Structure 1
């Protein structure tokens, strides 16, 4: 039996030390620049609303919707990196600052996400993997995939997600980020107990979203908050789906990140929508989760130089790979 490849087989001790160096400066820039892009998107819509005709304003709004949804995904990836203590060098910044600036605004919770996600790393592609339900049904037919994309863009997936989050905060569902719903029996808990659960669990989301709305209101454009909500329930679920497909769908059920995880090539459109802060380097992340996002591209280059990973496909190529090709039968003579 072949020996399992380890990190020490792929990198020197000095390379491992260099690759795993986290930085408070890089983490701060990642969070600040993400919110800066969101602010610019809001500002562009506000300006277009005041000065451009309706048709031009509609184009700007659509563009801003895509940008904001992409940055909402970026906030989720920043939370993901902080869950591994790789976003910042300082532990407090990973645990508390990222929770309030990245997780809570998108109705998430770093303290609940961290143990959930670390189990995904420990059991990737195995039965115990909590994220297995996101990708286990691939490959699928083209028609089925189009239906999923249409549900995402129509808001049906987003509304279902919001309902799930509400039930999780009521503690009527187990906390999760996938579609494997596990009810918690109500038992003899009173309505007041459920309301207290909701207040306790939703407080951070409500507070951070109230601040976002308040800033927009003070700027004279409170209606722009609708863009935040609309982005969250339309493009955002689509971007999450494509990202999940690219990372683990259609791959081996193995114990090796080299075969159960996929790195994907990302151009500037992909980086804006589905692959923020180098999350497309997913083999690299699963090989060594402590590597901060700013070092993943260098890690990938080293692995390619050593023929440890293949040339990555694009996101379009991944989607094509995960669609079942229709069979054609030759007519009988």
Structure 2
């Protein structure tokens, strides 16, 4: 078994497969960039040329230098492969690029190109579009990387600082951006770099923070597209996407209950409450005592899952007949079982949770976000956004979480043929990871054995010959109509 990674040294460990990470980054950002440059969702704000912009000549020879932006992240990975500093710099660059792309999605902008008779400039205009102008991602990305490298005192900071300056010039000399785009791009890059350094100072696990930001990017894109196009099938698709990504965020939230986001407990709770605790209506301060009690009393009458989670419901940690299983799922889907959970908790004298400053700061952040939405959007849009968040949160997301919970624990040792533990470990493919077991929660047996290990290090705790259930066996675990696998 390889060495287990702890949360203390998570940011000091090199990225295991940097080239695969680069490919994923290029595919995701490339797809979203093409999306925002060909399908603006809303009125496009033109970026006018200032007197300064009009004084800058078009220089066709700078087009190849402008296109060198495409090599910023590949060069970063090539130089940083096998080095610990690649993780924070890649995080900063991806954060800057992501912020720019989400900005273009929510607030489309475009420059008015000067006429080009031919040559490099005309060719560039044919392959690109005037959209996605402000903020300039060409500037934000290398600036964020340079700031982090400078703070970490790496010699490669000189290269990326010079590259940032070069791109600041060439976005203007090719006519692709205006000075204001450069300024906003620089501001985004500085903000992304500063945020990354703040997370490093707080010893926050950047892998977890990147995962949470990616989930939120998926949610924002799904809701934005559905609201902009307004068709029933896109609403349905958005509900599915949002529910699965809420479920994934709650898996990261589960990790934060063990203080895996950062050792600084106040910061840990603020970050996860901001990410999902507040908008998900379950502060981590409320969940943590119950979850830690679940670890202490697993499988006993004092286990909160047996006391509250399945109170007055068909599930008894054994496969169900068709009708009881249907009643279980329908009760989860239509909030009935959630009401039963809370009623049982209150009748048992559930503690009055004290919500301290981490929760209050996270709640204040969400109040600011809601105020901004109310200021910027119509009442209809606000209602649609609220529906596309809360409808899946209270229905499909609850069902997914319950199915995942049912997949985690058995009725006891040997309740499942060939399985001698209370807790299951699953072997799953990408479909299972998307819907039921994101972020290695399928390795729940390993998590209970090693609760001090963060989600991304759990695969290292699996012994090579250790037995795992196959994902298709989940159906037989839930429904008694399928014979158990011997």
* TM-score of the pair, normalised by structure 1: 0.70
Q: Provide closer, same or farther for how the CA distance between residues 98 and 263 of structure 1 changes in structure 2, counting only shifts above 3 A.
A: same
Aligned to 1:178: none
- Which stretch has the larger CA shift, 135-144 or 243-252? 135-144
Alignment of 1:277-316 (within 5 A): 277-300=439-462, 303=463, 305=464, 307=465, 309-314=466-471, 316=472
SS in 2 for 1:86: coil
Distance 1:253 1:125 in 2: 13
Aligned residue number for residue 126 of structure 2: none
- Asked whether the 8 Å contact 1:86–1:292 carries over to 2, the reply is yes
| Counterparts of 2:223 and 2:450, CA distance in 1 | 37
Shift of the 203–93 alpha-carbon distance from structure 1 to 2, 3 Å rule, reads closer
2:7–2:260: 8 Å Cα contact kept in structure 1?
A: no
CA deviation digits over 1:221-253, x for unaligned, max 9? 212211111112220121011001100034428
Cα distance, 1:18–1:114 mapped onto 2, change above 3 Å: closer
Aligned partner (choices 404, 413, 425) of residue 243 of structure 1 = 404
- Counterpart CA distance in 1 for 2:7 and 2:340 is 40
Question: In 1, distance between residues paired with 2:439 and 2:5?
Answer: 21
Determine which structure has more spread, i.e. the larger CA radius of gyration: 2
CA distance in 1, matches of 2:367, 2:339: 17
Alignment of structure 1 residues 246-265 onto 2, 5 Å:
246-252=407-413, 259-265=421-427
Matched, 1:231 2:392: yes
Equivalent runs, 1:137-286 vs 2, <5 Å: 137-153=317-333, 155-157=334-336, 161=338, 174=345, 182=348, 210=367, 213-217=370-374, 218-220=376-378, 221-222=381-382, 223-252=384-413, 259-286=421-448
TM-superposed deviation, 1:205 = 9.3
Whole-angstrom distance in 2 between the partners of 1:205 and 1:86: 18
Q: Which has the higher contact order (CA 8 A, sep 6+)?
A: 1
Matched ranges for 1:59-74 at <5 A: 59-74=233-248
Aligned CA distance change for structure 1 residues 162 and 229 (closer, same or farther; 3 Å): farther
Asked if 1:126 corresponds to 2:300, the answer is yes
Conservation of the 8 A alpha-carbon contact between 1:123 and 1:129: yes
Write out per-residue CA displacement over residues 246-298 of structure 1, whole angstroms, 9 at most, x where no aligned residue.
Answer: 000344289xx971111223333332222222211111111101111111223
- Please state if 1:321 is matched with 2:474: no
User: Number of paired residues?
Assistant: 274
Which one of the candidate residues 279, 282, 287 is aligned to 1:113? Answer: 287
Distance 1:289 1:151, change over 3 A: same
How far the C-alpha of 1:40 sits from its partner, in A, is 1.1
1:41 to 191, 215, 222: 222
Match of 1:99 among 255, 273, 290: 273
Cα drift, residue 207 of structure 1:
5.9
Q: Is the 8 A contact 1:41 1:64 kept in 2?
A: yes
Change (3 A) 1:288 1:46: same
Question: SS at 1:112's partner residue?
Answer: helix
Structure 1: tracts of 5 or more residues without a match: 1-10, 50-56, 168-172, 176-180, 185-193, 328-333
Query: SS in structure 2 opposite 1:46?
Result: helix
- The Cα shift of 1:96 comes to 2.2
In 2, distance between residues paired with 1:291 and 1:113? 19
| Residue 183 of structure 1, CA deviation | 5.2
Distance 1:249 1:164, change over 3 A: closer
> Alpha-carbon deviation of 1:29?
0.7
Gaps of 5+ in 2: 12-204
CA distance in 2, matches of 1:163, 1:262: 26
Task: Give the aligned partner of residue 31 of structure 1.
Answer: 212
Contact 2:271 2:362 in 1 (8 A): no
Q: Is the CA contact (8 Å cut-off) linking 2:475 and 2:482 kept in structure 1?
A: no
Distance 1:229 1:211, change over 3 A: farther
